[in-house]
Amino acid sequence: MNIFMHEFKQKIRSVLVWSVSIALLILVFLSLFQSFASQANMVSELMASFPRELLVAFGMADMDWSNILGFFALLFVFCQICLAIQAANYGFSLISIEESEWTADFLLSKPVSRTRIISAKFLAALAALTITNAVVWAVSFPLIKLFDAGQVYQWKPVVALLSSVIIFQLFFLTVGMFISLLVKRVRSVTPFSMGLVFGLYILNAFGDMMGEKSLEVLSPFKHFAPSYIVNHAAWDFPLMLISVGIILVSLVGSYVLYQKRNISSAI
Amino acid sequence: MSIIIETNHLTKFYGKSRGIIDVSFNVEEGEIFGFIGPNGAGKSTTIRLFLSLIYPTSGNASIFGKDCIQYGPEIRQEIGYLPSEVFYYEGMKVIDLLKYSASFYRKDCTQRILELSDLMELDLKRRIDDLSYGNKKKVGIVQGLLHQPKLIILDEPTAGLDPLMQQKFFNLIKQENERGATIFFSSHILGEVQRLCNRVAIIKEGSIIDVQDIKTLQKNNYKKIRITSAHMDEKQFAIPGVSNLQRSDGSIHFFYKGDINTITHLLSSGKISDLAVEDLTLEEIFMHYYE
């Protein structure tokens, strides 16, 4: 419990910054909706003038922008990128920060097992991510209501989309943690998390564009594509299972690797 | 006397590079055990194996009679460790870190934290980031001792402390030892080892080359002999037991180990104008081991 509290406290400020930023992103995007909706024809014409491949790559095809939920699905892609970077940052730094700042010697010379350390750290990061998740839930409903331009729609697609966030976060948290334990040392977290997030994003974008199915099955941006979830008011279940599988493998792999890890010394 | 630390053929390779090779020695209860060797000899590797920060390639170590890996968390309950480099979590105050450290132990350490930081003149309210190297070191000392451990492991502990603080620190270590704690003291500074320790292990390039009583190490080993003579040639002294034979400024210097009568015999055979026979200082013994 002491490690959990310590880790959680270390993350409070970061959680606040991320949560507020993502809430603002949703606010700013949704506030633009009314002008889009009122000029729906012009927007459709504009979109039609772009090559279809480009729209597909950015997840903008098959989307009715003049519909509030279609618009929300579009903005949620950006929301997902932010959530992914936050989760990946926490994942990559979870264990590695102790080694890059040499605090591992302090922590591991205390009477605790490594299993307890990694569990406490993982749960603290998950708790931190859940706060951001809760903020996304809390702002989405009232803001959609506020900017819906009087349209009629159902909440079910929104609930389906928001429910996917926790698994989406877990994906980047666990994969980040696993990779950080596979490499010898993570000197700086940002290049790793940016690489993972944008790598998987681009994998999905290119996969869509080329109609290449084999690549995109690895990307959670495909597994939880907002356009699919909103259009179907449900998850793409088989694809989601791939995410869950990768999460489980990463989690088990992390425990095993951390148990065997040699902690390099400061000198 | 029970054995506190026991190592059996402990070996560690980092990939292909050498950590330590076939290290076996015991540390007994109540000892202040010195562990000396130059940088890179394997001192920290040995300590990190004790704490299961790293895992051995072969062999094993046990502390309090329990295997270091299997019973790691349990034995660390009674170990205090002061690493050679101290770095702590960003943005924390000294008192927060000490409380966090204390929260891992079953006993209440508040009183001891206050005593120790008072003794080491450590300001509990400051942020650790703002502290000087020496003051960070003091935080390390307090966090290593606050739970009154049965075994204290020190890895080059005095770097960064001024002579006055070093003195206080040594007194503190002596007190802990009198209280019953066993001390494992790794260092490359011989003076402090000489001052504090009962026994020493000397490590060179990953292997233990000697484990000795500090007094035996100094006494019954080598003599340093200097002769001033116009008539004698240094070649006369090239007998078994003599090493470091050299001539400078008209005098002959060498180290001698063996029957003292052999050398007095040899000395009386010629005419000498001056003679000095001394014990080696620990430094000289040490240098000798490393040649």
- What are the tokens at A184? 């010898």
pLDDT in tens, A108-159: 999 999 999 999 999 999 999 999 999 999 999 999 988 887 888 889 999 9
In the predicted model, what is the mean pLDDT of residues B43-61? 92
% chain A with pLDDT above 70 = 95
Residue B261 is predicted with a pLDDT of 84
Residues with Cβ < 8 Å from B248, sequence gap 6 or more? none
B223-289 is classed in which CATH architecture? 2-Layer Sandwich (3.30)
A267 lies in some domain: no
A48 lies in some domain: yes
Give the confidence band of B291 by pLDDT, cuts at 50, 70, 90.
Answer: low
Q: How many domains does chain A have?
A: 1
Residue B160, phi-psi category: left (phi > 0), alpha (psi -120 to 50), beta (remainder): left
In the predicted model, what is the mean pLDDT of residues A97-105? 82
- What are the tokens at A222? 């495909």
Q: Which of A114-118, A129-133, B166-170, B271-275 has the lowest mean pLDDT?
A: B271-275
In the predicted model, what is the mean pLDDT of residues A191-199? 93
Say which DSSP state A240 is in: H
Other CB atoms within 10 A of residue B273 CB? 11
Name the average pLDDT for chain B: 87
Q: Cβ–Cβ of B44/A104 closer than 8 Å?
A: no
- Residue pair B109/B83 in contact by the 8 Å Cβ criterion: no
Q: Is B178 on the interface with A (CB under 8 A)?
A: no
Q: Which of A145-154, A190-199, B54-63 has the lowest mean pLDDT?
A: A145-154
Residue B282 is predicted with a pLDDT of 64
A176 lies in some domain: yes
Domain B3-218 in CATH 3.40.50.300: yes
Contacts of A104 in chain B (CB under 8 A): 53
Report the chain B residue with the minimal C-alpha distance to residue A117: B73
A103 lies in some domain: yes
Residue A55, phi-psi category: left (phi > 0), alpha (psi -120 to 50), beta (remainder): alpha
Which pairs count as long-range contacts for B18-24, CB under 8 Å and 24+ apart, including other chains? B18/B42, B18/B205, B18/B206, B19/B45, B19/B54, B19/B57, B19/B206, B20/B45, B20/B46, B20/B49, B20/B203, B20/B206, B20/B207, B21/B206, B21/B207, B22/B59, B22/B207, B23/B59, B23/B203, B23/B206, B23/B207, B23/B208, B24/B59, B24/B208
Q: Is B59 on the interface with A (CB under 8 A)?
A: no
Burial class (CB in 10 A: 0-12, 13-18, 19+), B3: middle
Residue B1 is predicted with a pLDDT of 65
Domain that holds residue A196: 2-260
In the predicted model, what is the mean pLDDT of residues A214-226? 83
Question: Which residue from A6, A103, A108 is facing B87, i.e. has the nearest CB?
Answer: A103
The structure tokens 């591992």 sit at A104
The whole-angstrom distance between residue A68's C-alpha and the CA centroid of its chain comes to 22
Residue A60 is predicted with a pLDDT of 67
Tell me which residue of B236, B86, B270, B247 sits closest to B160, measured CA to CA.
B86
In the predicted model, what is the mean pLDDT of residues B52-58? 92
In the predicted model, what is the mean pLDDT of residues B96-122? 91
Does residue A98 register a pLDDT over 50? yes
Q: 0.90 cut: is pTM over it?
A: no
In the predicted model, what is the mean pLDDT of residues B73-101? 89
Which of the listed ranges A12-26, A99-113, A226-240 does the model predict with the highest average pLDDT?
A12-26
Q: CATH 3.30.70 occupies which residues in chain B?
A: 223-289
How far does chain A reach from its first CA to its final CA, in angstroms? 31
CA separation for the pair A162, A156 (Å, rounded): 10
Burial class (CB in 10 A: 0-12, 13-18, 19+), B248: exposed
pLDDT in tens, B216-264: 766 656 788 888 887 777 777 888 888 888 888 778 888 888 788 888 8
Give how far B107 is from chain A: nearest CA, Å.
Answer: 13
In the predicted model, what is the mean pLDDT of residues B27-55? 90
Contacts of B98 in chain A (CB under 8 A): none
Give the confidence band of A182 by pLDDT, cuts at 50, 70, 90.
Answer: very high
In the predicted model, what is the mean pLDDT of residues A36-46? 75
CA separation for the pair B222, B112 (Å, rounded): 45
Residue B189, phi-psi category: left (phi > 0), alpha (psi -120 to 50), beta (remainder): beta
In the predicted model, what is the mean pLDDT of residues B129-158? 90
Q: Which of A35-49, A89-103, B83-97, B200-214 has the lowest mean pLDDT?
A: A35-49
In the predicted model, what is the mean pLDDT of residues B89-109? 90
CA separation for the pair A136, A84 (Å, rounded): 13
Contacts of A106 in chain B (CB under 8 A): 83, 88, 101, 143
Residue B47 is predicted with a pLDDT of 93
A266 lies in some domain: no
Q: CATH 3.40.50.300 occupies which residues in chain B?
A: 3-218
The structure tokens 């489980």 sit at A248
Burial class (CB in 10 A: 0-12, 13-18, 19+), B231: exposed
Give the confidence band of B54 by pLDDT, cuts at 50, 70, 90.
Answer: very high
CA separation for the pair B168, B171 (Å, rounded): 5
Which of the listed ranges A113-127, A183-197, A208-222, B185-199 does the model predict with the highest average pLDDT?
A113-127
Residue B220 is predicted with a pLDDT of 57
A35 lies in some domain: yes
In the predicted model, what is the mean pLDDT of residues A175-193? 91
Does residue A194 register a pLDDT over 50? yes
Say which DSSP state A265 is in: -
In the predicted model, what is the mean pLDDT of residues A73-87? 93
Q: Which of A46-50, B92-96, B205-209 has the lowest mean pLDDT?
A: A46-50
CA separation for the pair B180, B18 (Å, rounded): 35
Residue B113 is predicted with a pLDDT of 93
The bridge status of strand B223-228 relative to strand B32-36 is unpaired
Residue A267 is predicted with a pLDDT of 45
Tell me which residue of B151, B157, B190 sits closest to B50, measured CA to CA.
B151
A60 lies in some domain: yes
In angstroms, what is the C-alpha Rg of chain B?
23
Does residue B290 register a pLDDT over 70? no
Best residue in B89, B99, B184 for a mutation probing chain A (most A CBs within 10 Å): B89
CA separation for the pair B56, B48 (Å, rounded): 10
Residue A62 is predicted with a pLDDT of 66
Residue B219 is predicted with a pLDDT of 63
CA separation for the pair A10, B91 (Å, rounded): 9
Residue A266 is predicted with a pLDDT of 54
Residue A38 is predicted with a pLDDT of 78
The A-side interface with B (CB below 8 A) comprises 2, 6, 10, 101-106, 108-113, 116, 260, 262-263, 265-267
In the predicted model, what is the mean pLDDT of residues B189-213? 85
A265 lies in some domain: no
